Structure 1
Amino acid sequence: MTDLLASYGLPLLALVTFAASLALPIPAFLALLSAGALVASGHLAPIPAFCAAFLGAALGDQCGYHFGHHIAPALHRAMTRHPHTGRLLARAERLLSDHGGLGVFLSRWLLAPLGPYINLLSGTAKLSWFRFTLWAMTGKALWIGLYCGLGYGFAQSLPRVATVARQTSTALLFLALIALAALLLHRQQSKRRR
């Protein structure tokens, strides 16, 4: 990835972060680590590199949100035809409306693989555009800063850092999914007891 970024520069960095925000299987974290290493070596300037990565990621987030927002009426009609799924959809919309900002923020950097799906769900659940954008941009800035900073600080051992970052991200995603499953199971058991 470092060689590609050295050759194609900032447009490639923006394209990679844009594509990753749309759930395309492109390792954006490797591009950010590589960008940080290229900044450390003087091949890229720090502010333009950050801006290119941020612009691509922000545009991808907005596309996902607006796609979810515009398909929401058709999806809502299809899901509410069944009483059970209609209740689940209403509950998900309430949850995202009440606590959605934190979920959007965490899905930008801590649970980054969930980000593209949170974008879509945020639009579908009609989370306010301003609230979505504020939390998404804050989280994306942190994500880009963390990975570029790691690439900058550990430019000499980039392959090792990339492996650790990938493993940590995967582990955090699995922990979040386990916690979510445990929470849902707990709620289901609490309802049965009532």
Structure 2
Amino acid sequence: MTQVLMEYFKEYNIWFLGILLLVQSTGIPTGGTLLVIASGAFSYAGEFNIFILFIEVWILISFGDWGSYMIWKFIGHRVLNKFPKVKRYMEPKILKSHKYLEQHGRGAVFLTRFLISPMGPFVNAAAGIADYKMSYFILFAILGEFLWSFIYLGLGYWFGDSWESIVPIITQVSEILAGLIILGIIIHLFIKTLKKK
């Protein structure tokens, strides 16, 4: 799979990477992060200008977040309106999401861009469907994606020819962080339920 992605990337460059990053923002795994690291390594080898590449990646991934937010904001509500039972079930949860985002949305959007990026698509969905303020979402998504682009391109550039050796480590760290957050949420909900009883 990695080899296929690399071949397409070498042929279509930033356009192929852009499509992968846009799709990745919706939560579909595409290998876009892997190619961002690889493109950093290619910049080290002199195939790309690292500064231009950074701007392109930053704009594309930020645009992907905005697109994902908009999909959930408009299509999400239409889908729920077609299924009244699902809508009745989801409405209390959407209201809770809205309240949570009003209090912690800026930090949640910012941190899920780079520190716990596997959670990013879920925050995009929650922000869109819960009508979180678009200007805040875009601002903190752009700031977070600045760091994401810097970190992953920087890692590829720093490790150069040996960039492939760091990919499993990055993947494992991301999975562990996402797992810890999910575990924390489950424990929090469990304690909350016990307190109510």
* 1:10 aligned partner: 14
Match of 1:105 among 97, 104, 110: 110
CA distance in 1 between counterparts of 2:105 and 2:28 reads 23
1:190 partner SS: helix
Q: Does 2:183 match 1:178?
A: yes
Pairwise CA RMSD: 1.9
CA distance in 1 between counterparts of 2:22 and 2:126 reads 18
Match of 1:187 among 174, 184, 192: 192
User: Is the 1:23–1:116 contact (alpha carbons within 8 Å) kept by the matching residues of 2?
Assistant: yes
* 1:157 aligned partner: 162
User: Is the 1:5–1:34 contact (alpha carbons within 8 Å) kept by the matching residues of 2?
Assistant: no
Q: Which amino acid aligns with 2:75?
A: I
Distance 1:80 1:17, change over 3 A: closer
Distance 1:36 1:71, change over 3 A: same
Distance 1:13 1:81, change over 3 A: closer
Q: Write out per-residue CA displacement over residues 146-181 of structure 1, whole angstroms, 9 at most, x where no aligned residue.
A: 011110111132121111111111111111111111
TM-score when normalising by structure 1: 0.89
Q: Percent of aligned pairs with the same residue?
A: 25
Q: Write out per-residue CA displacement over residues 36-62 of structure 1, whole angstroms, 9 at most, x where no aligned residue.
A: 101111100012211221222122111
Q: Does 2:54 match 1:50?
A: yes
The unaligned stretches of length 5 or more in structure 2 are: none
TM-score when normalising by structure 2: 0.87
CA distance in 2 between counterparts of 1:81 and 1:4 reads 45
Distance 1:15 1:88, change over 3 A: closer
Q: CA deviation at 1:3?
A: 4.8
Give the number of equivalent residue pairs: 190
Q: Does 2:121 match 1:116?
A: yes
